[in-house]
Chain A
Amino acid sequence: MTRKQPGPEQLRRRKDRLNSLIYLSPSLIGVMVFFLVPFMVVIYYSVIDNPVNKDFVLIDNFIKVIKNSAFKQAAANTAKFSLVAVPGAVVLALLLAMLLENKIPGKSRFRTFFLSPMMVPVASVVLIWQVIFHYNGALNGLLSVFGVDPIDWLKTDYSQIMIVILFWWKNLGYNMILFMAALANIPKTLVEAASVDGASSFSRFWHIKIRYLSPTILFVTILSLINSFKVFREVYLLTGDYPYETLYMLQHFMNNKFSSFDYQMLSAAAIIMAVVIVAIIGALFYAENRFGKDVEQ
């Protein structure tokens, strides 16, 4: 039996497929090498006893991680931090964006002011924070004028508040710009129709604007959530491997496990964290899909 020769349409499709694969390959290779393959390796490490024996242990590593008190502490701190920092970063950025929507003098300067922390490298940010909050820093210097005893801000229960403020300072500007763009995209006539219909400025926000902002709220929330997990960089540079207990984040746990070559625990913790993040993001997408579907063009 002879094989049927491909027609010109089939040949064209094959060529298109090959072309698209060629164009995609640089990104594809990058994603494979730096994300997919390492993630597969992480999954593999999470189900073996150690990289030498390589005995399959199923969920033992996960159970060990969940029972580990350092992990519990780190997870609780990270969750607490994210629960405060993320909604705050979303709400404050939205409030700032709405404030700057009005005709106020020096509007563009305010915008630049809020955006500038984005351009400052993490190391410099940390340096500024150290100058302010160090035991011998500026804040204690100022407080001493009023007779207040110096406080070691980063080694007290205030430390998490410091980090939340640092996180907001670093992230508010960008979130605010995203919200400003979203606010500018709300159809003007809808807001006008609502004001003719008798809606107060709060009602206009609550009944109309927030619907149109929901995709941006989702995006900013996800972005802030991811950034909140990345706050480790700042905390690590400020306080090192073993910070004050309220600042001990999940990444500290992973970093320390990495240093002690405990790849199984590290991988299991990373997978748990990834699953939680995916679950949260999935829930956010679901909520946004239900809430904002009618207003999407």
Chain B
Amino acid sequence: MASITLKNVDKTYDGDVKAVSGFDLEIKDKEFVIFVGPSGCGKSTTLRMIAGLEEISSGEIYIGDRLVNYVEPRDRDIAMVFQSYALYRHMTVYKNMAFSLKMHKVPKEEIDRRVRETAEMLGLTHLLDRKPGALSGGECQRVALGRALVRSPSVFLLDEPLSNLDAKLRSDMRAEIIKLHKKLQTTFVYVTHDQTEAMTMGDRIVIMKKGLIQQVDSPKDIYDHPKNKFVAGFIGTPQMNFFDGEIKTEGGRCFAEACGSRFAIDGRYAAFSGRKVCVGVRPEHMELCAGAAPENVISGGRIELVELLGSDINVHASLGDIRFVVRSQWQSGLEMGSAVNVRVDTSRIHIFDAETEENLAMTETEAEA
């Protein structure tokens, strides 16, 4: 078990392509941290730098108290699960799992005991004599996990391990990995581009974009208090609706004016009066309503599409050039092209600066701090 510290880590390819810049992060012992972001954001590169598979251009990486910048992957006491599983196809499941122990010169009896124990835990005992070619995707995934687990390393690194599985298996394995983390009490670093995995699995989420950390926080805090428009748009399905607007104060009250309506917002935004902003509202914080109203309601929208999700529906609507989505419970009479009014829960509204895209609520908090 160990903490991981990354201090001002940079990764530059071919002299000028910056994959990761100024990455500062402290991962506590036994913590489950998720790196999430769109393709090319540097999340896998960072994980590979922790593993030692990628050289760092500058900065320092510590595992526990040990500086590992120049330590070979095999001496870092880490285990890694790869997206492609990277199973040795010519070895049986048993040999795949025993390989690292054999490389570390663990006695044969001990190898046998640990492999069988891990196989039992992951339900792989009946597959020990098979080769990866004869396994299903889910089974390969378990073997890849087993191969990492059998060593009891101090850090687990998982690089999009579920992305090759179907939805049902992915959800099952997600639960398995969460349980494993609880059971093993070891530091987990998990890379994904799937926000459901990010939200459900980690103690903390690191959201990255173009090699830069955007926000590090608990899933709940990231959802409720996104630091900027990118984070707000990246977390949440369907993604947050954004409306261009402006902050106004009138009679001591503060409003955000957007899409031909005005939304009553907290008085603390008065300091930003006159500022061009981007109003962000999550689809689940909007509801379809019958009548128009001068405040907090977007009126005159047209339904473009209704997605049935089972108990809920996503109503895709437009207002002129503006498009937005409302999450609602199923109701009849919603037809394409029909008019719709939407009430916005203004207590859950997010206001981003139109230029910097920073969340003004957080800018204000930071300024106060």
Contact = CB atoms under 8 A, between A and B. Distances in A.
Q: Chain B: interface residue count, which band?
A: 20 to 34
Contact of B53 (A190, A192, A200): A192
Given A203-B103, A207-B99, A294-B131, A195 B86 contact: no
A207 B51 CA distance: 21
Interface residues of chain B: helix, strand, loop or mixed (majority): loop
Contacts of A200: 74, 103
B82 interface: yes
A60 to B, nearest CB: 49
Interface string A183-203: 000010110111111111001
Interface in B171-220: none
B104 A198 contact: yes
B73 to A, nearest CB: 5
Contact of A211 (B73, B79, B86, B90): B90
A196 B72 CA distance: 8
Contact of B74 (A187, A195, A295): A195
Given A199-B103, A294-B131, A294-B133, A187 B86 contact: yes
B99 A194 contact: yes
Contacts, number: 63
A65 B78 CA distance: 65
Interface residues of A, number: 19
Contacts of B104: 198
A192 B103 contact: no
B273 to A, nearest CB: 55
Given A189-B86, A190-B88, A196 B78 contact: yes
B147 interface: yes
Nearest to A297: B89
B90 A189 contact: no
Nearest to A193: B86
Contacts of B73: 192, 195-196
A132 interface: no
B140 to A, nearest CB: 13
Interface in A94-133: none
B80 A199 contact: no
A193 B159 CA distance: 12
A189 B84 contact: yes
A199 B90 CA distance: 16
A263 B237 CA distance: 83
Nearest to A191: B86
Nearest to B144: A193
A197 B100 contact: yes
B131 A195 contact: no
B103 A198 contact: yes
A167 B84 CA distance: 42
A192 B157 CA distance: 13
Contact of B90 (A192, A195, A295): A295
B131 A196 contact: no
A258 B52 CA distance: 65
B89 A193 contact: no
Interface string B122-155: 0000000001010000000000000100010000
A211 B89 CA distance: 10
Contact of A198 (B74, B83, B84): B74
A195 B157 CA distance: 14
Given A192-B51, A192-B86, 13 more contacts: A189-B83, A189-B86, A192-B53, A192-B82, A193-B86, A193-B147, A194-B88, A196-B52, A196-B78, A196-B100, A197-B151, A207-B99, A294-B131
Interface of A: 187, 189-190, 192-200, 203, 207-208, 211, 292, 294-295
Interface of B: 51-53, 72-74, 78-80, 82-84, 86, 88-90, 99-100, 103-104, 131, 133, 147, 151
In order of increasing CB-CB distance, the 5 nearest A-B pairs are A197-B100, A198-B103, A193-B86, A294-B90, A189-B86
